[in-house]
Amino acid sequence: MPRPFHPAFASLPAELAIFPLPGVLLLPDGKLPLNIFEPRYLALVSDSLANGRLFGMIQPNSATGELGEDGLPPIFDTGCAGRISSLDETEDGRFLVTLTGVSRFRVVREIEPLHGYRRIEADWRPFRLDLEEPPPIEIDRERLIQALKAFSRVNSLDFNWKAIERIGDYDLSVSLCMACPLEPREKQALLECPEPITRTETLITLMEMAVAERHIGGGQVRQ
């Protein structure tokens, strides 16, 4: 069953505006707040409002340290499109946007920029199921919470533990994958996981590895 307000698969655009942002992950059903102030991204939001309210979040791929022929950093092959689900205008000329994740996409090729922002030709077919209601998942909450508590201590993070206890497995997985401070390539690995349960298991492993590396490096982690 498709989600309310989401576009039908057949109406997803062949060309998509993108907002490259390192270390930022948007997942289907996730909520991403954005503070938009650069002129090119103000134009991106304005154009998106007039064309289905969709644009894509994607990470720059700086692994090679090289720029493209256009002088711009390359991007990863996979991103996630979001729908502008709320927007506020500020008196100093900014947009405060909430982007709701709709579907992942593969980059076929980059096309001519418009009004200063980058655009791509998108292939939605590998992620067609992103538009459907996710199947129920059961995560190992005990292991997840244990890993999250250790990870939050070594990174001085403050989570609302009472809210975490109340939230369902799927929504918890999406929220934590987006919120946890991980390296861009780790964020990308989460984005590209084929299924929500695999993504959750990958997140747990990444947090456990981060804690173990901190411990080996001489940090003291209280379990």
User: How far does Cα 144 stand from its chain's mean position?
Assistant: 20
Q: What is the pLDDT of residue 2?
A: 61
pLDDT band at 221 (very low <50, low <70, confident <90, very high): very low
Confidence (pLDDT) at 54:
97
Using one digit for the tens of pLDDT, what is the confidence trace for 132-191? 988 888 999 999 999 999 999 999 999 999 999 999 999 999 999 999 999 999 999 999
What is the tens place of the pLDDT at every residue in 49-70? 999 999 999 999 976 666 665 6
How far apart CA 203 and CA 201 sit, in angstroms, is: 5
The CATH number of the structural domain formed by 9-131 is 2.30.130.40
Measure CA 16 to chain center. Answer: 16
Q: Which pLDDT does position 12 carry in this prediction?
A: 96
- Give dist(CA 144, CA 122) in Å, integer: 34
Query: What's the confidence (pLDDT) of residue 135?
Result: 81
169-179 vs 141-154: helix axis angle to the nearest 10?
20
> Which tens digits make up the pLDDT trace of 186-206?
999 999 999 999 999 999 999
Asked if the model's pLDDT at residue 216 lies above 90, the reply is no
Q: Decide if pLDDT at 16 tops 90.
A: yes
Question: What band does 218 get if pLDDT is binned at 50, 70 and 90?
Answer: low
| pLDDT for 222 | 45
Tens-place pLDDT, residues 26-53: 999 999 999 999 999 999 999 999 999 9
Closest by Cα among 77, 80, 179 to 131: 80
**Length of the chain in terms of residues written:** 223
Q: What is the rounded average pLDDT of the residues 14-30? A: 96
pLDDT for residue 1? 59
Q: What is the 3-state secondary structure (H, E, C) of the chain?
A: CECCCCCCHHHCCCEEEEEECCCCCCCCCCEEEEEECCHHHHHHHHHHHCCCCEEEEECECCCCCCCCCCCCCCECCEEEEEEEEEEEECCCCCEEEEEEEEEEEEEEEEEEEECCEEEEEEECHHHHHHHECCCCCCCCHHHHHHHHHHHHHHCCCCCCHHHHHHCCHHHHHHHHHHHCCCCHHHHHHHHCCCCHHHHHHHHHHHHHHHHHHHHHCCCCCCC
- Rounded to the nearest integer, the mean pLDDT of the chain is 92
Domain residues of the chain, as ranges? 9-131, 141-216
Confidence of residue 209 (pLDDT cuts 50, 70, 90): very high
